[in-house]
Amino acid sequence: MGRAFVYVILGGGVAAGYAALEFSKRGISHGELCIISEEPVVPYERPALSKGFLLPEGIFISNWNMKNALKSARGISRNEKGDVKLPSGLIAPARLPSFHTCVGANEERLTPRWYRDNGIELVLGTRVKSVDVRRQTLLTATGETISYKILIIATGARALKLEEFGVSGSDAKNVCYLRDLADATRLVDVMQSCVGGNAVVIGGGYIGMECAASLVINKINVTMVFPEAHCIHGYWVGGIPKAEGIQGFDYSPQSTVHSPRLWTGIYSVMSRERNASGTVARLFTPKIATFYEDYYNSKGVKFIKGTVLSSFENDSNGKVTTVILRDGTRLPTDMVVVGIGIRPNTSLFEGQLTLEKGGIKVNGHMQTSNSSVYAVGDVASFPVKLFGETRRLEHVDSSRKTARHAVTAIMAPDKTGDFDYLPFFYSRVFTLSWQFYGDNVGEAILYGDFSGGTFGAYWVSKGQLVGSFLEGGTKEEYEAIAKVTKLRPVVENTGELERQGLGFALSL
């Protein structure tokens, strides 16, 4: 015997929280909805873990949820960008319950009490170990069988481990990953024991860049190691940015053959195809990446590029003391942070549902190949109307919006159209802040002041503007680049677009 629900959400992350809010707005009865999550806490805004959560006390922050949470707090001051400075004595680091969903989208904060008041059953700290989509049942690790009429898969992704790239040592006491609250809590503990010391950050993606900034703010000396020529850079899909090319980085097999992922990258450059995992290729052109790297340099961060970790040396307490790179470099260290990508949690459904581009394939209603099962967030490969193709995105905005759309489609299928999404990514580090909308394919047209002011890029593909990036914009400017990207205007003269820069978006 087990319990039965009308709706079950499998996974308790960002998408689960936004789905729960949408269910409550649309009106469900008490006892109809259940959320099952391996994490012991109710859904929270995961992005806070690499930002507000890692902050020491009393410094400027540009974190959205802290800004929101502190809007009404007395005694705070702001710099010219609107970042808040907290008076000493007022807690600075973000801690639950301040960043439970759905504060990130300026919605209600769904605390455990909110779920109780709304009659939503929470099965927390519980892993689902198998699912039978034909019988519409799930089996938890505690041995309970839970049945559903409608299942929403919101299992997100897991961090890739070094062992998957042939390097052992992830279990050392001072090697940290960052995916969930437990990881972040551990990272804070390790960081606090290393103040004034050295950290090596492995990976030049989002986690690497955001953690490096937080480590510096915590007064730790950082060296970043990654295989590519630049941070958040990797390879292009569909085109080489104007006047930049890929000089300066040796893509030959002998240089940095470190992982199947790099090979995927190489082949993507050659064949102009999307990478095998189906995610959008990384964003920064060399010039954009150089801006951020120079900024990080000015904060003391060192970059070692074009090589990868080979092994660790440990002391007798099980702590890494030296990071050894493939090129023979030895880096003495007090701690290591690893951010080398993720894999979507699809394994429970392999052989039961159709997969595509590394995720669970859904239609414009977020419905999988089984009509009783929906998939949302990082795990879903969904049709992006704007591009006319299926994509799997690994960002918070798409997690929130796919979740809400799935619930809308479940509750009012006849009144719900196909999901129409403009991809949106952002990051905030130190006092910098950028946003990106659309697609980074085609020719990149760069504009603005790369010496520390506002700058940006448009991507033009097949004569149309398809993507926009902006660093240091105002709310109105970000809205303008979002709007122009959604409109996909024809661009006849890229030189003129370059000359107009941000003015082009603002003029529409």
Binding site for ligand NDP (CB under 6 A): 50, 165, 202-208, 210, 226-228, 234, 258-259, 261-262, 265, 308-309, 339-342, 394-395, 425, 427
Nearest to 366 by CA among 414, 415, 412, 404: 404
- In the complex with ligand NDP, which residue's Cβ is closer, 151 or 209? 209
Q: How far is the CB of 367 from ligand FAD (least distance, A)?
A: 16
Which residues make Cβ contacts (< 8 Å) with residue 330, sequence separation at least 6?
Answer: 322, 323, 324
Q: How far is the CB of 379 from ligand FAD (least distance, A)?
A: 6
Q: How far is the CB of 96 from ligand NDP (least distance, A)?
A: 18
Task: Report the alpha-carbon distance of residue 505 to residue 437 in Å, rounded.
Answer: 12
260 preceded by a cis bond (ω within 30 of 0) = no
Establish if 34 lies at the interface with ligand FAD (CB under 6 A).
no
Could you tell me if 480 and 508 are in contact, meaning their C-beta atoms sit under 8 angstroms apart?
A: yes
- In the complex with ligand FAD, which residue's Cβ is closer, 47 or 169? 47
Q: Which entry of ligand FAD, ligand NDP, none binds 84, CB below 5 to 8 A by partner kind?
A: none
Task: Report the alpha-carbon distance of residue 328 to residue 172 in Å, rounded.
Answer: 21
Q: How far is the CB of 146 from ligand FAD (least distance, A)?
A: 11
Among 8, 21, 23, 39, binds ligand FAD (CB under 6 A): 39
383-412: which residues touch ligand FAD (CB under 6 A)? 394-397, 399
- Which residue has the CB atom at the shortest distance from ligand NDP? 205
Q: How far is the CB of 116 from ligand NDP (least distance, A)?
A: 31
* 433: β partners: 428
| Region of 263 on the Ramachandran plot (φ > 0 left; ψ -120 to 50 alpha; else beta) | alpha
Among 24, 63, 333, 345, binds ligand FAD (CB under 6 A): 345
DSSP string, 107-162: -----HHHHHHTT-EEE-S--EEEEETTTTEEEETTS-EEEEEEEEE---EEEPPG
Establish if 11 lies at the interface with ligand FAD (CB under 6 A).
yes
Could you tell me if 370 and 133 are in contact, meaning their C-beta atoms sit under 8 angstroms apart?
A: yes
Nearest-10 Cα torsion for 307, 265, 203, 378: -170
Nearest to 449 by CA among 433, 430, 470: 470
Among 50, 367, 408, 433, binds ligand FAD (CB under 6 A): 50
Binding mask 156-195 for ligand FAD (x = CB under 6 A): xx--------------------xx----------------
- Which residue has the CB atom at the shortest distance from ligand FAD? 13
Q: Which entry of ligand NDP, ligand FAD, none binds 397, CB below 5 to 8 A by partner kind?
A: ligand FAD
Give the dihedral sign, CA 405/406/408/412.
Answer: positive
Could you tell me if 406 and 398 are in contact, meaning their C-beta atoms sit under 8 angstroms apart?
A: no
Q: How far is the CB of 428 from ligand FAD (least distance, A)?
A: 7
Could you tell me if 288 and 457 are in contact, meaning their C-beta atoms sit under 8 angstroms apart?
A: yes
- In the complex with ligand NDP, which residue's Cβ is closer, 13 or 203? 203
Establish if 15 lies at the interface with ligand FAD (CB under 6 A).
yes
Establish if 471 lies at the interface with ligand FAD (CB under 6 A).
no
Nearest-10 Cα torsion for 135, 141, 142, 143: 30
Q: Which entry of ligand NDP, ligand FAD, none binds 344, CB below 5 to 8 A by partner kind?
A: none
Q: Which entry of ligand FAD, ligand NDP, none binds 14, CB below 5 to 8 A by partner kind?
A: ligand FAD
- List, in sequence order, the alpha helices (H) in 62-111: 64-70
Give the binding range for ligand FAD (CB under 6 A) out of 74-82, 150-158, 328-336, 458-466.
150-158
Helix pair angle (206-217, 286-298), 10° resolution: 20
Task: Report the alpha-carbon distance of residue 375 to residue 352 in Å, rounded.
Answer: 13
Q: Which entry of ligand NDP, ligand FAD, none binds 205, CB below 5 to 8 A by partner kind?
A: ligand NDP
Tell me how long the chain is: 508
Q: How far is the CB of 374 from ligand NDP (least distance, A)?
A: 21
Establish if 47 lies at the interface with ligand FAD (CB under 6 A).
yes
Establish if 22 lies at the interface with ligand FAD (CB under 6 A).
no
Task: Report the alpha-carbon distance of residue 216 to residue 232 in Å, rounded.
Answer: 19
Q: How far is the CB of 393 from ligand FAD (least distance, A)?
A: 7
Q: Which entry of ligand NDP, ligand FAD, none binds 92, CB below 5 to 8 A by partner kind?
A: none
420-439: which residues touch ligand FAD (CB under 6 A)? 425-427
Which residues make Cβ contacts (< 8 Å) with residue 278, sequence separation at least 6?
Answer: 356, 357, 358, 359, 381, 390, 391, 392
Write out the residues near ligand FAD by the rule CB under 6 A: 11-16, 36-39, 46-47, 49-50, 127-128, 154-157, 178-179, 345, 348, 377-379, 394-397, 399, 425-427
